[in-house]
Copies of this chain bind each other. A is one copy, B any other.
Amino acid sequence: MAHATVEWTDNLEGAFELTALLRLIADEMRLRSTGVFPVGGIRVRAIRLSDYVIADGAGPDDAFINIDVKMGVGRSEAFRKAFFDQLFAAVKDFLGDLFERRPLALSMYVEEAEGWKHNSIHRRFGGQG
């Protein structure tokens, strides 16, 4: 499985296409992970933030996008570095010159977790729940 949560401050409304960003992350997980992330377990969502204080609180245009990824235990360090370097670069490219046009902090964190699961989405991809 692979979960991603994209938090974004709402002063970025209109500055980037949210759905395209979510789709980019899901596509990277599906197409570039060489099968490490089963398709049916990819879950990318966004949280819109309306209340925030950034840095010294004095820059009304200060904004951030933060991506938290949770994935199963046991992927190699080599995979982890290669895949997430690529993912982060893709997100940065996607945002383009937005970093030049306004103060913007982008961050991404990855954690591993094992849990309980039951999933009927896998069926569409020929897998098990």
Contact = CB atoms under 8 A, between A and B. Distances in A.
A110 B103 contact: no
B84 A103 contact: no
A121 B84 CA distance: 23
Interface residues on A, range: 35 or more
The number of times this chain is found in the oligomer is 3
Contacts of A107: 1, 3, 115-119
A44 to B, nearest CB: 5
Interface in A70-129: 70, 84-85, 88, 92, 99-100, 102-111, 113-121, 123-125, 129
Contacts of A23: 53, 57
* 3 nearest A-B residue pairs (beta carbon): A109-B115, A45-B52, A46-B51
